[in-house]
Structures are given as C-alpha cells and as structure tokens.
Amino acid sequence: MQKQKLLINGERLKQELERFAEFGRTENNGVTRLSLSNEDIQARDYFRSCCEELGMTVTVDDLGCMYATLAGTEDKPPIVIGSHMDSVKKGGRFDGILGVVTGLEVVRTIIENQIKPCIPITIVNFTNEEGARFEPSMMASGVLSGKFDKSFMLQKRDPEGISFAEALKASGYEGDSNNRLKEATAFLELHIEQGPILEKESLTIGVVECVVGMACYEIEVTGDSNHAGTTPMRMRKDALFAANNLINEIRKRLGALDSELVFTIGRLNVYPCIHTVIPNKVVFTLEARHKDMQIVNTVKEIIQGLPDLGINEGCEVTTTKLWDRDTVWFAPELCDQLEQSAASLGCSHRRMVSGAGHDAQFIASYIPTAMLFVPSINGKSHSEDELTAWEDCEKGVNVILDTVLKLLFK
C-alpha cells in the first residue's frame, strides 16, 4: 500500500502570508517593504519570533541576511529554503515572501508530525533582493557568492542619501560574517512566476531549469542638427530616422532567431528633442535574453554589425556593450526531484526558464540549487495587482515539502 503523503496546512500558510502582508500594506492591497525600512524590520522581527517559537536558532550575517535553523540529528550541511522579504515600492504580497513563508510552513509541518530531521533545515531571508532601495538587486546573495564586493555595496545610497552600511547598522540586523551561508545540502526557492506562461497553459508548477543569460547594449546614433523648415530632406543627417531604420532591422533579425528569445528597447532618448530641430543624436538600449548562450552570442554579433548595414542615413552609429551575463543552470538532480514531487502530488507541471533574476542564481554558484514557480494571475508582479491563488501557493509548498522529505530520507 502506498504511504500517505505528508501535506502542509494550507489555511495556516494563507494566514501567514496575510500576516506578512500587513508589514507595509498599501491602500490597494499591495506591499511597500523596502529593504531595511521600518516595515522590513517589523517583518524581520516577526519572522524571528515565529522561528524562535518553533525552537529554531536565528542568526544574522554581516549583510543582514537571516538564517533560522532547525537542528538535525546529524551534523550535516543544512537544507536551505527561502527567498527575500523586501519588496519594490507598491509591490505585491507574494514576491519573495512566499519563499520565506514556505520555509516556515515546511518546518511547522515537520515538527507537528514529530519528524526528526537528520539534516538541519535552515530558512533564509536574503537582504535587499529587489534593489529597490539600494542598487543593485540581489545585493546580499551577490556578495555571498563573491560576485559583488562588500565594501563597495556598503557605500550604496538610497534616494535619501542613507548608505546601505548606515541602514544596516540602524536596523539592528548587522550580524557576523561567520554566519554567512557557506555550505548546504541544497537551496530551494519557491517564487511566483512573474510572467504569464503557467496561467496561460493552465499549469500549477514550473520547475525552473535556469535563469537565462542576457546581453545589454547601448546604441548611439550621431547625425546633424539643423532647422526643420529650411533643410531639404536630401541634405539631412537625421539621427532619429537612422535609429528607426536600425530598430526595424533589430526587430526583424532578432525576431527570426528563436521564438523563446525576448528583446527590449527600453530606453530611447532623442536630442535635442525640440520639435523644430532635426535630431542630431539618438541613444537607445537593447537587451536580449535566452537560455542558449549561442543565441545570445548571435544577438551580440547582429548588434555589433549594425553600423555596417548601410542604413544609417549618413549618421555615425556606435554600439557599446553595457553588460551581459551567462545562463545559470540549476542542479539537474534537484530539478528532477522537484518534478517527481510535483508529479507524485498530482500537480500539473512543466520545465521552464526564469527570465527574471533571483538570489538563487548567485547561490547556485556554490550550493546545489533549484527554483520552483507558481502561477502569477495575469502574469503580474512588481505591482499591487500581483496575485497568486492560495491553492497554487499551497501546492507549491507541498512540492517543496515533498522534496525536502526526499532529501532528508534518501
């Protein structure tokens, strides 16, 4: 006979998510909980008290990341579950916090079923994932993984001029670098999808295989300014007409590469931007994302070849790479396990990629890591309209619980 599956308490999960939404709730039922703000500190204090009530030991590292650990019977590297508690301004009630509350609910379920884990279980809250108060995003996990320099990050200032170092000190959550996440059996992050795919396909669970690679360029077109009324068309070097040609070409060529490639011209500035003056300069950005780095590299070649296409209207075109990043692949054995857990719980699921960045992508560089997505209604996030069905949250946490149990007793 098949053993009955251990399941979480969906009602308790919902209440806990609602409880956390009170810290920084906006009038439209969203959340503003900027990193190390009063609202964030209240949420942290509450999280700490929940964990201590469960008999967990809470430590804090030198970046303010919190680790609540349920001891195991053996002294092994922990299974880590978590995400972030900070939000963007007028963000939603699920982004980040769902992954932290997942940890709480998994631990509560394990304790109330009198399971004695052999491996410790740690719930993590990474500081300043959103980068909404202090840029860049994923600041703490970036330092933990050695991608960012700590002293440089400490100097980052919010729009009010307060540095990250000052905010950390004032928050009471500046801990010890000895407490940093160093070694773990696994890191599991449950997150809302922040996109429309799962909902469109009527699926509940997305097993995230990777965070896609990307490249970001700035393209500058330089022409000549002159009087808009007196300069014949054939005597112009109009930077905006040239930029328009280039943008059309980018859309045509990149659009033909692969249906999964996404690309965006998110910023475009026209100079001098006066209606009676021919534009002498246009600067625009192009960023493109795909899991296959070969396709990302083809994008780079196309962008770098733009000046030579002969569609510049006599203008000069330069392309500058602002930054790029390689695709980060998650641990295949954890992805397999999450998929098996989803299937064994009867949850509809698919493999997918993450187009957005997450702490997990940095942690994956030194700890076996995987991510799970649950659907975002209308694909919305970073907005007060962000919503995920309670049942989907519950199913996602059940998949994480099942995988944790498999890791504990394999």
**Binding interface with Zn ion (CB under 5 A):** 95-96
**Residue nearer to Zn ion on the CB measure, 95 or 392:** 95
Q: Which residues of 34-185 form beta strands (DSSP E)?
A: 57-60, 66-70, 79-83, 121-125
- C-alpha atoms less than 13 angstroms from C-alpha of 69 in its C-beta half-sphere: 20
**Residue nearer to Zn ion on the CB measure, 223 or 357:** 357
Pull the structure tokens for residue 314.
């006599």
Radius of gyration of the chain (CA): 24
Residue of closest CB approach to Zn ion: 96
**Residue nearer to Zn ion on the CB measure, 313 or 386:** 386
Supply the minimum distance, in Å, between the C-beta of residue 235 and Zn ion.
53
Supply the minimum distance, in Å, between the C-beta of residue 98 and Zn ion.
9
**Does residue 324 sit in helix, strand or coil?**
strand
| Cα–Cα distance measured from residue 304 to residue 226, given in angstroms and rounded to the nearest whole number | 29
**Residue 280 near residue 224 (C-beta atoms within 8 A):** yes
**Residue nearer to Zn ion on the CB measure, 95 or 287:** 95
Alpha helices of 22-54 — where are they, by DSSP H? Answer: 38-53
**Residue nearer to Zn ion on the CB measure, 72 or 99:** 99
Supply the minimum distance, in Å, between the C-beta of residue 11 and Zn ion.
24
Bridge partners of 104, per DSSP, are none
Supply the minimum distance, in Å, between the C-beta of residue 36 and Zn ion.
16
**Residue nearer to Zn ion on the CB measure, 296 or 397:** 397
Site of tokens 């187009």 = 355
Short-list 176, 184, 169, CA closest to 69? 184
CA distances from 293 to 290, 298, 353 (A): 7, 8, 13
- Provide φ and ψ at 367, rounded to 5°: -135, 140
CA distances from 376 to 121, 133, 256, 392 (A): 28, 24, 28, 9
Bridge partners of 142, per DSSP, are none
**Residue nearer to Zn ion on the CB measure, 185 or 194:** 194
Supply the minimum distance, in Å, between the C-beta of residue 12 and Zn ion.
22
Short-list 186, 234, 91, CA closest to 410? 186
Supply the minimum distance, in Å, between the C-beta of residue 99 and Zn ion.
8
- E strand or H helix at 289: strand 281-290
| Cα–Cα distance measured from residue 151 to residue 164, given in angstroms and rounded to the nearest whole number | 10
Supply the minimum distance, in Å, between the C-beta of residue 191 and Zn ion.
6
Supply the minimum distance, in Å, between the C-beta of residue 93 and Zn ion.
12
**Residue nearer to Zn ion on the CB measure, 96 or 213:** 96
**Residue nearer to Zn ion on the CB measure, 63 or 110:** 63
Supply the minimum distance, in Å, between the C-beta of residue 132 and Zn ion.
11
